[in-house]
Each structure stands twice: as C-alpha cells, then as structure tokens.
A and B are shown apart, each in its own frame.
Chain A
C-alpha cells in the first residue's frame, strides 16, 4: 500500500518535472482570480485582454533573454532597454508617419537591434569579461546614441501601424497572435534546428558541446543577436502602440525579462529553455502588478514585492547543493 502511494508521488513528480511552466501558470491564474474578485479591477475578460496586450511585449523581449540565458551560466543581456530605446527612435524616423514605410521601419528597427547584438557579443569576446558587465557597459554607449538621435523626436507612428497595434480578433489582440507566432517559431527553432539544439547543448556543457563538434562561440553569437533583434522589433512595436517613441520605453524590461525567464521555469544556469513558461510568467508578472494596484499598493511596495517574489521563486526552484 505504502509503495503504491510512493510510486504515484514519483509519477506526479516526473510529470511535473517535464512541465516547468506549471507553477507560473498556476500563479498567473491565482493573480487573475484575486484581481477579479477584489472587485476593483476591470471585468475579468477585459483584464485578460489588457494582460495579453502588455504580456505580448514582455514575451517578445523575454524570448530573446531566454535564449541568451540558455547558452550558459553568467550569460544575460542587460542592454535590452537601450536596444528598445534606440530601435524605437529609428523605427519612427524611418516610418516618418507614412503608411508605406511601415515595413521598412520595422526592418530597420530589427536590423539596429541585431547590430547592438553583434556589438554586445564582440565586447564579450574581445574584452573577455562577464556578459553582464559587457552588455551593461555597452548599453551606456547605445543609450547615448539613442539620446542623441531620439531626444525631442515627436514623430507619430503611421495611422495604419497604430490601428494594427490596437486591432482585436474576437477579443484577442492581434499583437498577441503575432507574438504567439514568434514564440512558436522560437520553440520550433529550439526543437528542430542545429542552432536550437546547439544552444541547449552549449548551455549544458560548453566543453562537451565543443568536443562534439559544435561551434560554441558561433552559437552564443546567434543567441545574443537574436535577443537584441527581438528587442529591436519590440522597440518598434512599443513605439507604434504608445503613439511615438520615448527613451525610457524599455526601462522596465531589464529586470522583467530576467524575472519572466526565471519564473517561467527556464534553468538559470543554462541549457534548458522553456517557451510556454515565458507566456505564463509574463501574464503572471502583469497580473501581479494589476492585483497589487487593485489592492492599493504604491510603487515602492510593488517593487519590494516583485523583488521578493523573484528571489522566492528561484529559491523554490533550487535544491540544496553540496560541495
């Protein structure tokens, strides 16, 4: 009898281990329910729609951060806010309010992002310093460029672009559908392509991956470039959504992306990305703020709790280590 329950428990544990996004998904549902039942927020459906819109931006940027974190311990891109600021400004400049230039504008933003990624990776390689410091130091320069070209820029996004950003299909924001497509593409890339498999292998053990014939540094290069390019895309979309670019439009994404990746069940030391977790964690982070707002918490308390929750989640996800 006893062995029977143990095996059930083991089975449950194995089932859970294969689904690292489960916890954040549950947490998101709880936060949503708490906000709705507190009665001060909007209606439940409306709240979900708003959450989907804002989470879509978070997901887009966090997918890139997930790839970077997955290529090994110590890898993270802290230049995301600068990339978003710069690409937003570039997108608005290229589009210049005309519908015909929407696609070139978005492409230019993605290209600018990708260039920031190349810059980041070359700093990491040439200076051989931890990526955290390299991307942070490099981001100061990128930010300066963004300030120089983007300050006082008052270009409205083309009307078609704004409309597209606000469009809904049966209550679901079109933006969320687009980002879902990107997520599926990234998931397929991780599952099916050489690059995707290399990202996981390099993250798990770069020496073994190198000996197995994978190109370790090239894999890392692509992770940083894809991450920054996605941030560039997000910069253009955010500018379109909020009626023009601003220099601090990416500010919050530095901690938010890392929090979303970690809470979503991606392993922090690399080698095990989790795409569904990005969605549930992004929804959770938005709904958490909505819940705290509905409960009347100010910005100080909100930051305090966000920090504690991030630490709590990684403590809960860890296991006692031995030396």
Chain B
C-alpha cells in the first residue's frame, strides 16, 4: 500500500515538474520586476517562446520514435530564411521550397528506418545541408518577412497575450495528435517496441517517414513564426534551438528512448526554457558567463529529470 502511494507520489512529481519549474521562474521574474505582471509584460517575456514551442514539438516527434534531431535549429533557420527572401516576392516558389524541405525530412526518416542508420549522424549531416541552403539564400543577414506575416505575429489577441493562446493551441494540437490519436499510439509504439509494430503489419519505413515529415512541418511553422517576429533572418538565427528543444522535451517529461513524450509538458518546457533565458538577463549575469549559464540550466534540468527517473525506479 505504501509502495503504491510512493509510486503515485513520484508519478505526480514527474507530471507536475515542468509546471512547477515554470511557476517558480515566473514568480521569481515577477518578484524582480513587478511591472512584468501585465499583458505587455507577459507578451514581452514569452514572445520568443512561440517559435520555440513548435520547434520543440518537432523535436518531440523525433524523440517519440527514440531518435534525436540535431538539425532542427538549422532547419528552423532555413525556414525563416525562405520566409524572409522567397516568400514576399515569389510565394509559389517559397511554398514549393517548404514542400521540398518537408519531403527531404520524410526521406531522411525513411532512410534512417530502411537502412537502420543512426539518426544522430544523419541529422548532423542534414544540419549542414540546411545551413548550406540558408547561406545560399541569405549570404548576409537580412531579408524582409512579408507584411501579412509580421502583422499576424504582432496581432494583439483578446483577453490573453498571444504566447498564452499559442501555448494553449500548440499543447492541444500536440495532445490530440500524439497522446489521443491512433496515429500517436503507433508513433509511440515505434519508439517503444518497433518489432511489435512491424509484426502487426505496419510499414515502419512509411511510419518513420510520416513522423519526420510532421517534424519538418512543425519546423517550417516555427521558422515562419520566428521570421514574422523578427521581420528579417540570418542563416544562424535559430541554431540554439537544437539543444533548447531537446531540453524542453526532456523537461516536459519526455524520455530519450522508449517513446515516452508529453506534448503538454513539451510546450510548458519551451516556455520554461525561454523564461530561464530572460531570467538570466534580469539577474545581470556577465556576458562572458551567459553561455555557461545556459549550459548549467540544461544540466540542472536534465539532472532533475534523472533524479526523478531514479526515484521512479526505486518506488
């Protein structure tokens, strides 16, 4: 009986950790800067989390099948670069480029499954492909996002600031897609026990290709939202997303293997990682050490997760 209770306690801890971390950080930020506790304050604090949420959902799709995507940052940068160069002048060509990019992702997924390649090496290679394409498109930082996109991202949403609406939308979308749907069950099955999924008769190649295509789609969305916010792009604009998205998924309760992911947790994780970065500026950490602090936050996040996992195993 008591072991059951302990198990339940650890499970609750597992589920509320992302929300707990987010509230603690929010409280800390509001304490340092009470004026942030307003529509505009929250908008300013969490605006940058919007693209990151979708990039994290992309990473979550890949982690759900027990792979890792080391190319999502450069991919979002590429999508943003396309948004700032081709989209305003030649929208049809831009759409074609997006479709081609998503197809390339799907192809990578199919290759990884059919040839049993390590996803890490393939996506590391892909990251250079995306970066190369982005540099070809935008040799120097610049470009201009189309007006409709920048005004959409600057739209003043009713009742709640846009990042909150977007978080609700992303979490609901991910929850329906991955946690509730039959497709989501298959995806997590592929991550946990591919042999079983194959024995039931599903084509693993098509399944993994579909998962990668979805990740690509989320990546394109992230890139468009990012370029809508910044109005111009550069080939390295989102390179830090690779690591931060992984941290968001893991902080949100996902695991590296076994097909355990939580879309709601991932979105909360993305919000938390963004807030952690703003909190550092509030604390006035010297610029020399900001990179290191990011690393430290990552390590603390992953360490907390590891500690809870260990508790779960004991309980």
Contact = CB atoms under 8 A, between A and B. Distances in A.
B117 interface: yes
Contacts of A319: 115
A308 B135 CA distance: 15
Given A140-B291, A145-B292, A311 B243 contact: no
Nearest to A299: B135
Contact of A129 (B115, B137, B256): B256
B34 interface: no
A53 interface: no
Contact of B198 (A140, A145, A311, A323): A323
Nearest to A123: B299
Nearest to A269: B118
Contacts of A141: 292, 295-296, 299
Contacts of A140: 291-292, 294-296, 298
Interface string A159-181: 00000000000000000000000
Interface magnitude class on chain B: 35 or more
B133 A300 contact: yes
A74 interface: yes
A303 B295 contact: no
Contact of A148 (B128, B289, B295): B289
B256 A144 contact: no
Contacts of A318: 115-117
Contacts of B243: 133, 136-137
Contacts of A138: 295, 299
A301 B132 contact: yes
Contacts of B130: 307
B115 A315 contact: yes
Contact of A139 (B134, B135, B288, B295): B295
A258 B124 contact: yes
A-B residue pairs, 8 tightest by C-beta: A144-B292, A140-B295, A304-B132, A321-B116, A307-B128, A300-B135, A303-B132, A300-B136
Interface of B: 68, 70, 108, 111, 114-118, 120-122, 124-137, 139, 194-195, 198, 204, 243, 246, 250, 256, 288-296, 298-299, 302-303, 306, 309
Interface of A: 73-74, 76, 123, 126-130, 132-134, 136-141, 143-145, 147-148, 151, 255, 258-259, 262, 268-269, 298-308, 310-311, 314-315, 318-321, 323
6 contacts: A262-B121, A268-B118, A302-B132, A307-B130, A307-B131, A319-B115
